Chain A
Amino acid sequence: MSRPVNLADFLPPYLAEVEELLGLAHTQLLTLETAARGGAPQPRAVRELFRVLHTIKGLSAMVDVEPVVALTHLMEASVRAADRAGGKLPPASIEPLLQGLKAVEVRVRALGAGKPVPPAPSALLDALEGLEGAERRAAPRAAAPAEVQFDLEPALASKLSASEREQLTQGVQGGRRALRVDFAPSPQRSAAGLTINTVRERVSQVAEIVKVVPLSRPGGAPGSGLVFALLVLSSGPDAALAAAVEVAPAEVRLVAQPPPPPEEDAALASGALAGDLSADPSSDLAGVLPEAPLDEEVAPQRHGIVRVETARLDEAMERLAALVVTRSRLQRAAAALTASGANTRELVQILQENARQLRDLRAAIVRVRMVKVGEVLERLPLIVRGLRRSTGKQVALQLELGAAELDKAVGDRLFPAIVHLVRNAVDHALEPPEERRRAGKPEEGLLRIVCRERSNSQLEVQVSDDGRGVDAAAVARRAGVPVPQSDEELLELLCRPGLSTREEVTTTSGRGMGMDIVKRIAVDQLGGELRLQTEAGVGTTFTLRVPLTISIVDAFVFESGQQRYAVPVATVEELVEVDAARLVRGPGGAEARGEVQILERRGQAVPLLRLATVLGQPAGEGGGQKALVVRQRGEPVAFAVDRMLGQQEIVIRPLEDVLVKVRGVSGATDLGDGRPTLVLDLIALGGGAAAEAQRRERVS
């Protein structure tokens, strides 16, 4: 089917709008599902869901996506029936509506990707169509189904859509009367404040407006040939409606006969009523954008919001990165001038002001890229709902997300990691209801997700469950290794890539599925941290700590082995002075590689490694006066460096080539001298070196 070329301009905003509307629809449906279990009516949520579906239908008709129009048409019909039933959506209808949303989403994605849009599945259409009947039967005031005969002139009937006809039918079957009243605007009436708009408002107070149709009436009221025919559903007296339009009550006409008693069926068949009209195919065309009576509440307009493509934000960040590098060069040039004896006081002041401006600009751009963690995780309830159905377990999801914000790039990476943890918790950790009952626990398991800002640059996410805990012995058996003695060792074991590919023993508890993915995301990609706490029979808590943003970071710059390095400040727990007199030599002795000393720090022994040695470089002269303390698997490790050079903002460039992609180096940066400076991952370095030290101690 060829599409007019100008529709291409509508496609991007259509896709963005529909994606947002689908999110709203999911939210409303989950609200309705919770309410349906409690039996409480939710008229507001039903109305909002109808409005959303209706809008999707209208937008899709504009860009001519027929399958989406068909799906949303049936979905909105069933939601309207729920509104008739007093805002109560039957629980059985939730699942088909969710599948309908899924089908809409799939087709919208196909459209956005330039692929053929698959037709709406007939089985799903049948299920959705069946919903409407079920909801009608669920309506408390539902009458016996009978066809309603309409008494409408052709000009009016031809403008009535199938959904509007359906609306009138259901209203009449529900015991209301379908009425028509005409309003003829005139200068005199306008002067008296009576226009079609004010009439609309007044009529909506006493009846439900189904349709307002402008008709031309030759030889009608003097001075005007235009008349508005209002079709309404009313349960009040005709006088009230007539007063709203300021006409005589006699001008209010009944347009639909109430359903006849069953014994009169034969008489009805023999005497067809005048004006009986079947559905006109052309009316369906007009129905794609019908007026929605449920839409009386105008959606709150969002002021001052502009959607920005992430690519543009990335470009702005890249330009800012270049400015930061330029400022480093300027500082270097100013230092050279100062060393040559020139008077640079004013220049230094300007550079300091420029540094403040760049910092403010950077903060502003970073803030633009920030999204609330609640937005990142808003789909979790839907995922948990799916897991409930697939596992048959009862799960309560508790979210304490706070107001923390993080970079969209971090959020996009973080969400899959959290989804993995949630899946594992529901699949493996939480027991079935009977097992929980035997253990003296509530039948419904608790899954709790807590987000906290750990510092001004780090976010901590905890995923906790009150399930059976991780069975360390079972995991060890599956991996063919000795039983780990601590949660840290257990986590290392769970995160082995090979573990997730093994088949699970059916009687084995514990988990391994996908944990290497979580670690790869949190630690490798985001430079964060992953921790585990578990207790048999009580539950398990995973803690992820990730940086809020990953583009530009503050870093310590130092010398080690005659080379300069940078380390992000966020990864360093403390910077300590090393008192050589108080160092204790470890069991490694004088061996050049892996030389370990012990540093006393607030009563705790901390292994001290010379960074130059760990990096395989000759040690500098008189080095080791300062050490950087990082935390690796919960334990501190200190790295002695030759000389601290200061702290500055750096732009991290990832190292992608296989030749230089090594553990312990997370990227390179330009400190302003045009040479790459390595950005180190001390936590990864600490892992290797500390593990080697422990192995050495075990051997000796």
Chain B
Amino acid sequence: MSVLHVVFRVGTAEYVLPAADVVQMESFSGATPVPGSPAYVAGLVQVRGRVLPVIDARARFGLPPAERNLDTRVVVGQVAAPGGGLRTVGLIVDAAREVVKLDPEQLRPPPPLVAEQARGFVKAVAQVGGVGQGSAGAGGSGRLLLLIDLNKVVGEEQVHAE
């Protein structure tokens, strides 16, 4: 049984999230900074009448800041709230243009080096479009997709004022 995933790019890497965990995708036109919030929190955005906190994926993944452009997207996802219930949080990514179907067999634990660098944010890797997958290109190399653990990316840091 293959599962639909949303693909998005941060820096040069490509990541996926299950489509069921993604509420919507929105273009990004700036966030309102919230003084005192964690550094990787870009601020607040308003998505269809709802005010959501958004996380800068580049900052969260330790990448240098980049210029925002028309490709920039907000991936709106839902994660479990610390006290129960659901939190709706946005993730600012460099681009998000497609979806893929992944079979469970395609998902493998991340190599130790990737897991170490990703600080637990990557919980699986998947290779797609490899040899024999019906690609039109002759022997083209496959893409490596990193499955995100959105709960860990969002984090549960409580801000302690002062």
Give A residues with C-beta under 8 Å from B: 322, 563, 615-617, 653, 655, 657-665, 668, 670, 674-678, 688
Contact = CB atoms under 8 A, between A and B. Distances in A.
Given A653-B51, A688-B161, A676 B36 contact: no
Given A676-B44, A676-B45, A660 B35 contact: no
Contact of A668 (B29, B51, B87, B157): B51
Contacts of B45: 675-676
Nearest to A680: B35
A661 B154 CA distance: 14
A659 B42 CA distance: 10
7 contacts: A615-B35, A655-B34, A655-B53, A658-B157, A659-B89, A660-B44, A675-B29
Contacts of B156: 658
A437 B94 CA distance: 78
B67 to A, nearest CB: 18
Contacts of A664: 35-36, 161
Minimum-distance CB pairs A-B, first 10: A662-B36, A663-B161, A676-B44, A615-B35, A659-B53, A660-B53, A676-B32, A660-B34, A668-B51, A676-B51
A566 B159 CA distance: 22
A660 B157 contact: no
Contacts of A655: 34, 44, 51, 53
Contacts of A616: 35-36
A662 B161 contact: yes
A676 B52 CA distance: 9
A665 B36 contact: yes
B154 A676 contact: no
Interface in B96-131: none
A124 B18 CA distance: 61
Nearest to A653: B51
What interface size band does chain B fall in?
Answer: 20 to 34
Given A668-B44, A675-B32, A662 B159 contact: yes
A473 B43 CA distance: 45
B30 interface: yes
A656 to B, nearest CB: 8
A660 B55 CA distance: 11
A660 B41 contact: yes
B72 to A, nearest CB: 15
Contacts of A658: 82, 156-159
Nearest to B82: A658
Given A659-B89, A659-B157, A660-B37, A678 B162 contact: no
A659 B51 contact: no
A322 B34 CA distance: 24
B162 A659 contact: no
Contacts of A676: 32, 43-46, 51
B46 A657 contact: no
Interface string B68-103: 000000000000001000010100000000000000
B60 to A, nearest CB: 11
B98 to A, nearest CB: 27
B68 to A, nearest CB: 14
A676 B158 CA distance: 21
B140 interface: no
Nearest to A659: B53
B139 interface: no
Interface string B50-67: 011101000000000000
Contact of A657 (B30, B87, B162): B87
Contacts of A674: 46
B89 A657 contact: yes
- Which of B35, B89, B154, B155 has the most chain A CB atoms closer than 10 A to its own CB? B35
B34 A678 contact: yes
A658 B89 CA distance: 11
B22 to A, nearest CB: 17
Contacts of B35: 615-617, 662, 664-665
A657 B82 CA distance: 10
B142 interface: no
Given A655-B51, A658-B82, A660-B53, A670 B34 contact: no
A659 B89 CA distance: 9
B12 to A, nearest CB: 27
B30 A675 contact: yes
Nearest to A562: B33
Contact of B154 (A322, A659, A675, A678): A659
B36 A663 contact: yes
Contact of A659 (B30, B37, B46): B37
Given A662-B161, A665-B34, A678-B44, 13 more contacts: A655-B51, A657-B52, A658-B82, A658-B156, A659-B41, A660-B53, A662-B34, A662-B36, A676-B32, A676-B44, A676-B45, A676-B46, A677-B32
Contact of B37 (A653, A662, A670, A688): A662
Contacts of A665: 34-36
A233 B45 CA distance: 78
A140 B6 CA distance: 87
Contacts of B41: 659-660
Given A658-B156, A658-B159, A668 B32 contact: yes
A614 to B, nearest CB: 8
A662 B55 CA distance: 16
A657 B87 CA distance: 7
A668 B89 CA distance: 16
Given A659-B53, A670-B46, A676-B44, A688 B162 contact: yes
Contacts of A322: 49
Contacts of B30: 675
Contacts of A653: 51
Nearest to A564: B32
Q: Considering residues A617, A660, A665, A677, which has the most beta carbons from chain B within 10 angstroms of its beta carbon? A: A660
A563 B33 contact: yes
A565 to B, nearest CB: 10
Contacts of B55: 659
A23 to B, nearest CB: 34
A19 B116 CA distance: 62
Interface in B132-160: 154-159
Contacts of B33: 563, 617
- Among A663, A675, A688, max chain B CB count under 10 A is at A675
Given A653-B51, A675-B46, A661 B159 contact: yes
B63 to A, nearest CB: 19
A670 B44 CA distance: 11
B51 to A, nearest CB: 5
A596 B156 CA distance: 35
Contacts of A563: 32-33
Nearest to B88: A657
A664 B34 CA distance: 10
Contacts of B158: 658
B38 to A, nearest CB: 7
B38 A659 contact: yes
A665 B154 CA distance: 21
B80 to A, nearest CB: 12
B101 to A, nearest CB: 31
A36 B44 CA distance: 62
A664 B162 CA distance: 11
